[in-house]
């Protein structure tokens, strides 16, 4: 099988916003407690944060972190998480049926984000609360001093404001599982009013309106149109959320999940553009794909739910998917889709970061390790240049149950400031594919790096017992001939190449 790709440094899609490589930490299971935070762990700092986890977060190359939810935010009282720890209430968390001790709140997380060298992106509760709580939190995080909440922040140990730029107006408000979920009309009004009030504090904030929780929601499309009609002028982004899993052994469809993400992004952009036309607005609505990953959701709904009204566990093991090589290749395909839409998707969050459907796992008192999906994400975050290129891909195709005929090879490429090219490729089939990549201009002269993920056993994963079973390998077949790059992509594989 042969694929041919043509790239031209002059044919660009748009600039790649570094926020494309964001992630997400929710108060859920062991993401925060016994995840990033574990006082008493041998590597914990004086605040209780694990240094080994921080090191892996930095290595992953995450740029932003969305916090504190997710479903959790829709019944969260942010004031519970500030001030002296001994006075913070233990609350029931309705989203995940756990106890929320509030040991970690806004100040602790902002300090962690600073140490992790990531931008903090906050979500406000539009489930059980509304405009007032959102504006109070904004005052707490962003106003310099001389007001109730800004002085409270200083009294709590942070005299400098956090200056949080990006804010999510609620979370998945279209989903019946969401506390306080509602219809698009009511949500659109509340979100627009909240946005207007927040802009009275700071006109320059970047605000994200909730889009659909997934493209298969019965209200998909209509939700975006109605909510945007209310809020178009006062928000900057509409969100997309999507999770992918292998269903009923249909591996080929699962491997082609990038096709589904492509269609989802295109549909949301088209809907936003329709609203733009109806409102005669000059503004182009951007997309924040602020939850995406592989998630064995069906398994969660069958097995992992805790429903005993008297049992509110601390840091239960929830949504702890163990990822395989196949999952890593799917994540690579989703990164390719995001890069190929970088003119429209200006921010994205891999959901999530630690322990909960995560690239990084930890054991209480023990080690932290990289799951398979860590590697494609780290490659893309580290190797992507500042401009995405518009590729012409001529690939063999194969049939899939869910998406019909799909390209066997998918790819994205970027250009950096020095003219260096980065290529990201997935082989979504169970056969090797030979690929030739021609480059306009002067062509390519040198391979700086050629790495990837594949394995004789595509179900292999990294575990506590074998944390390095799967890791990046050099692809020895990558070579340059007459300015073109040639490679053999192993079956079910992710490949990342840097060339000059």
Among 352, 362, 384, 451, binds ligand AHR (CB under 6 A): 352
Among 23, 64, 71, 342, binds ligand AHR (CB under 6 A): 71
When CB distances to ligand AHR are compared, the closest residue is 70
Q: Which two tokens stand for residue 355?
A: 């322990």
Say if residues 237 and 191 touch (Cβ distance below 8 Å). no
Return d(Cα 188, Cα 360) in angstroms, integer: 35
Question: Looking at beta carbons only, is 180 or 490 nearer to ligand AHR?
Answer: 180
| Catalytic residue, candidates 108, 172, 224, 246 | 172
> Does the protein bind ligand AHR through residue 69 (CB under 6 A)?
yes
φ, ψ (nearest 5 deg) of residue 449: -165, 140
What own/partner pairs with CB < 8 Å and gap ≥ 24 does 294-297 have? 294/243, 294/244, 294/245, 294/257, 294/321, 294/323, 294/327, 294/330, 294/331, 294/357, 294/373, 295/243, 295/244, 295/245, 295/319, 295/321, 295/351, 295/357, 296/245, 296/321, 297/243, 297/245
Among 126, 9, 4, 100, CA closest to 415:
9
Which residue in the block uniquely carries the two structure tokens 């030979």?
Answer: 434
Among 52, 4, 115, 21, CA closest to 383:
21
Alpha-carbon separation of residue 66 from 150, 293, 323, 451 (angstroms): 22, 14, 22, 29
> Does the protein bind ligand AHR through residue 359 (CB under 6 A)?
no
Return d(Cα 446, Cα 438) in angstroms, integer: 14
Alpha-carbon separation of residue 435 from 318, 461, 500 (angstroms): 41, 27, 18
**In the bound complex, what is the minimum distance in angstroms from residue 401's beta carbon to ligand AHR?**
25
Within 90-149, the residues that bind ligand AHR by CB under 6 A are none
**In the bound complex, what is the minimum distance in angstroms from residue 229's beta carbon to ligand AHR?**
23
Among 309, 318, 209, 225, CA closest to 267:
225
Question: Applying CB under 6 A, which part among 43-51, 67-75, 304-312, 373-381 lies near ligand AHR?
Answer: 67-75
Question: Applying CB under 6 A, which part among 58-66, 69-77, 103-111, 304-312 lies near ligand AHR?
Answer: 69-77
Which residue in the block uniquely carries the two structure tokens 């916003």?
Answer: 17
> Does the protein bind ligand AHR through residue 290 (CB under 6 A)?
no
**DSSP-assigned letter for residue 383:** H
Among 22, 29, 70, 452, binds ligand AHR (CB under 6 A): 70
**In the bound complex, what is the minimum distance in angstroms from residue 291's beta carbon to ligand AHR?**
6
Among 291, 327, 379, 410, binds ligand AHR (CB under 6 A): 291
Task: Taking the CA atoms of 209, 72, 114 and 462 in sequence, report the sign of the dihedral they define.
Answer: negative
Say how many residues touch ligand AHR, by CB under 6 A.
10
| Catalytic residue, candidates 291, 363, 401, 430 | 291
> Catalytic: 291?
yes
- x-marked contacts with ligand AHR along 201-240 as a string, rule CB under 6 A: ------------x---------------------------
Question: Looking at beta carbons only, is 75 or 171 nearer to ligand AHR?
Answer: 171
Question: Looking at beta carbons only, is 194 or 414 nearer to ligand AHR?
Answer: 194
Question: Applying CB under 6 A, which part among 66-74, 104-112, 259-267, 416-424 lies near ligand AHR?
Answer: 66-74
φ, ψ (nearest 5 deg) of residue 8: -135, 115
- x-marked contacts with ligand AHR along 7-46 as a string, rule CB under 6 A: -------------------x--------------------
**In the bound complex, what is the minimum distance in angstroms from residue 318's beta carbon to ligand AHR?**
9
Full DSSP string of 134-199: HHHHHHHHH--SSSHHHHHHHHTT--S-----EEEESS-TT-TTSTT---HHHHHHHHHHHHHHHH
Among 54, 198, 351, 439, binds ligand AHR (CB under 6 A): 351
Q: Which two tokens stand for residue 458?
A: 């595509």
Return d(Cα 367, Cα 322) in angstroms, integer: 16
- x-marked contacts with ligand AHR along 138-177 as a string, rule CB under 6 A: ---------------------------------xx-----
**In the bound complex, what is the minimum distance in angstroms from residue 275's beta carbon to ligand AHR?**
23
Question: Applying CB under 6 A, which part among 63-71, 115-123, 301-309, 478-486 lies near ligand AHR?
Answer: 63-71
**In the bound complex, what is the minimum distance in angstroms from residue 26's beta carbon to ligand AHR?**
5
Return d(Cα 348, Cα 175) in angstroms, integer: 20
Question: Applying CB under 6 A, which part among 65-73, 342-350, 385-393, 396-404 lies near ligand AHR?
Answer: 65-73
Report CA 480 to chain centroid distance, whole Å.
34
- Interface contacts to ligand AHR, rule CB under 6 A: 26, 69-71, 171-172, 213, 291, 351-352
What residues are labeled active site?
172, 291
């Amino acid at each position: 099988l042969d694929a041919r790709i043509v790239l031209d440094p002059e044919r660009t899609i748009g600039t790649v916003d570094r926020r494309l490589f964001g992630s997400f930490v929710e108060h859920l299971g062991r993401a925060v407690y016994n995840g990033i935070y574990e006082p008493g762990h041998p590597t914990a700092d004086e605040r209780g944060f694990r240094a080994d986890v921080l090191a892996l977060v930095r290595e992953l190359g995450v740029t932003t972190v969305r916090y504190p939810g997710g479903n959790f935010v829709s019944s969260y009282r942010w004031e519970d998480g500030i001030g002296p720890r001994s006075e913070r209430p233990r609350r029931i968390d309705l989203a995940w049926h756990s106890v929320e001790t509030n040991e970690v709140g806004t100040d602790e997380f902002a300090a962690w984000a600073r140490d992790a060298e990531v931008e903090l992106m906050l979500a406000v509760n539009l489930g059980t609360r509304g405009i007032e709580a959102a504006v109070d939190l904004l005052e707490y995080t962003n106003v310099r001093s001389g007001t109730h909440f800004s002085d409270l922040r200083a009294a709590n140990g942070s005299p400098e404001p956090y200056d949080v730029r990006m804010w999510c107006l609620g979370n998945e408000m279209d989903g019946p599982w969401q506390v306080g979920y509602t219809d698009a009309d009511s949500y659109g009004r509340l979100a627009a009013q909240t946005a207007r009030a927040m802009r009275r504090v700071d006109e320059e904030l970047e605000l994200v309106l909730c889009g659909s929780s997934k493209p298969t929601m019965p209200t998909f499309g209509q939700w975006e149109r109605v909510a945007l009609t209310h809020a178009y002028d006062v928000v900057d982004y509409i969100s997309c959320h999507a999770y992918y899993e292998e269903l009923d052994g249909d591996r080929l469809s699962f491997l082609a999940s990038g096709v589904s993400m492509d269609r989802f992004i295109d549909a949301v952009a088209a809907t936003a553009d329709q609203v733009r036309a109806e409102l005669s607005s000059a503004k182009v609505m951007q997309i924040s794909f602020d939850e995406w990953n592989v998630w064995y959701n069906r398994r969660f709904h069958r097995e992992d739910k805790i429903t005993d009204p008297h049992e509110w566990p601390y840091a239960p093991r929830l949504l702890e998917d163990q990822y395989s090589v196949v999952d890593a290749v799917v994540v690579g395909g989703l990164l390719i889709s995001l890069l190929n839409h970088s003119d429209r998707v200006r921010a994205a969050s891999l959901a999530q970061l630690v322990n909960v459907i995560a690239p990084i796992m930890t054991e209480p008192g023990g080690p932290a390790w990289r799951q398979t999906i860590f590697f494609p994400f780290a490659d893309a975050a580290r190797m992507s240049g500042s401009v995405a290129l518009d590729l012409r891909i001529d690939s063999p195709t194969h049939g899939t149950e869910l998406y019909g005929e799909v390209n066997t090879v998918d790819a994205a490429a970027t250009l950096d400031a020095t003219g260096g090219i980065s290529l990201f490729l997935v082989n979504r089939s169970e056969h090797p594919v030979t690929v030739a990549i021609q480059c306009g201009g002067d062509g390519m002269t040198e391979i700086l790096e050629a790495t990837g993920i594949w394995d004789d056993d595509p179900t292999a994963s990294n575990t506590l017992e074998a944390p390095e079973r799967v890791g990046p390998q050099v692809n020895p077949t990558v070579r340059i001939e007459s300015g073109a790059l040639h490679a053999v992509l192993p079956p079910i594989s992710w490949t990342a190449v840097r060339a000059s």
